[in-house]
Amino acid sequence: MGSQTSDLWPAPLASTAVDADVRVPGSKSITNRALLLAALADGPSVVGEPLRARDTSLMVGALQALGTRIEEAPEGWRVSPGPLRGPGAVDCGLAGTVMRFVPPVAVLAQGDIDFDGDPRARQRPMGPILDALRDLGGTIDDGGRNALPFTVRGAGSMPGGKVEMDASSSSQFVSALLLAGARYDDGVTVHHVGKPVPSLPHIEMTVGMLRERGVQVDDGDPHTWRVKPGAVRALDTEVEPDLSNAAPFLAAGLVTGGRVRVLGWPETTSQPGDLLREIFGLMGAHVRVDSEGLTLRGPDTIAGVDLDLHDVSELTPVIAAVAALATEPSHLRGIAHIRGHETDRLAALASELNRLGGDVRETDDGLEIRPRPLRGADFRTYHDHRMAHAGAVLGLVVPGVRIEDIATTSKTLPDFTGMWTSMLNREAAA
């Protein structure tokens, strides 16, 4: 990969301060939860304004493989639940939300469901969720790998009950059990044991979306979540813009000292990307939300930050890119688990920022970034959409950055290059 020139995208340099309105498509995390809950619901519903990207197509394909009908509707996708059944095959691609969220549904199907994904997907942590499903009464044949590929031998129902699980390597293990748990005979009680669970806002998103659909969830005790058995009510919804995918566009305003407005920023949200307001504010940006959206105005110089990103770890690549352009050192902490994301993001960020002449050191649980003048080079992305976003941000101000496999952005933003170019041409990127 990356050895051929055709794989390299010359990242556009910003000739002036960016000044643009941007519309980002729907949230990956909300779209895939809404689809899955619609497939488990007591009637048909519409997922409006969904994200249409690789991760959400994979979720659609997975649910269809289990017997759900999903069709185009004027507002988005109409989901008609059917009896869950195998045999079937699920391609997880590199989507954490598919490989973690769908097996707890597959145990409810009648028949065998085979799961596999991209080569890197086979290395992403799966053990805790597979063990938990077995403890709750499911049968999974993984050849002793505790990882993809595996077969869920669906029995048509699932006992459920109480389970202990170490979710320190991904919050998605907890979300996965909660999302399907209402359909288990005894519901589900998940008790986390181990180092702190990362990305807690994503678990809060899961709990909120379950409650919106009438599912009773008790999250009052520390490290414990209880879902009562019962129906998941069908609900027509509209997906919010993906605030994590807004990160590179806002960063463009920040690093060029320009202005970027992300249209339709929700007033209240469970998305961790909302924390960008605070984080980019600490880095010197002026940020304001009004009825139109969020407007960021970039500073003359970028401040260094010392941040624990445990709760918002998917924002790390773009924050690291901005930190490399600051006037002071930064320390990003609490993110050991992102070594298990699309790639080992700590290793990838250190290696690519240093390839551009940066001075970045990996720590056990984060990165130390000491800004240095950067120079153009080929920026590797390791099949990671957010590495590509980081490279594009750097390329705005560092001449000669070429990004390997920019198409990897299709995981969550198929038209990333179109949106990026429109932003630089001062048009609203729709």
Ligand X SMILES: C=C(OP(=O)(O)O)C(=O)O
- Going residue by residue from 86 to 125, which x/- string records binding to ligand S3P, judged by CB under 6 A? ----------xx----------------------------
Edge-first strand order for the sheet with 224-227 is: 161-165, 188-192, 224-227, 217-218
- 314 catalytic, yes or no? yes
Contact characters 193-212, ligand S3P, x per CB under 6 A: -----xx--x----------
Min CB(133)–ligand S3P separation in Å: 17
341 binds ligand X (CB under 6 A): yes
Q: Residue 116's Cα: distance from chain center in Å?
A: 19
State which residue, 45 or 172, has the beta carbon closest to ligand S3P.
Answer: 172
- Minimal distance, residue 386 CB to ligand X, in Å: 5
Beta bridge partners of 114: 89, 151
Strands 293-297 and 286-290: antiparallel
What is the token pair recorded at 44?
């048909």
Nearest distance in Å: CB 314, ligand X: 4
Give the whole-angstrom CA distance, residue 11 versus residue 370.
Answer: 23
> Binding site annotation covers 162?
no
Give whichever of 102 and 398 is closer to ligand X, judged by the CB atom.
Answer: 102
Q: Rule CB under 6 A: is residue 313 a binding residue for ligand S3P?
A: yes
d(CA 160, CA 149): 23
Smallest distance from the beta carbon of 393 to ligand S3P, in angstroms?
18
Distance in angstroms (rounded) separating the CA atoms of residues 91 and 274:
31
CA distance 288 to 273: 15
Buried/exposed code over 107-141 (b: 16+ C-beta within 10 A; e: otherwise): bbbebbbbbbbbebbeebbbebbbbbbeebbbebe
The token pair that represents 190 in the structure block = 């998940």
Asked if 309 interacts with ligand X (CB under 6 A), we say: no
Among 27, 45, 68, 97, binds ligand X (CB under 6 A): 97
DSSP, collapsed to helix, strand or coil, labels residue 360 as strand
Question: Binding ligand X by CB under 6 A: which of 33, 213, 380, 386?
Answer: 386
**By the criterion CB under 6 A, which residues form the site for ligand X?**
95-97, 314, 341-342, 386
Q: Which residues bind ligand S3P (CB under 6 A)?
A: 29, 96-97, 170-172, 175, 198-199, 202, 313-314
Residues annotated within a binding site for 3-phosphoshikimate: 28-29, 33, 170-172, 199, 314, 341
Active centre residues (catalytic) = 314
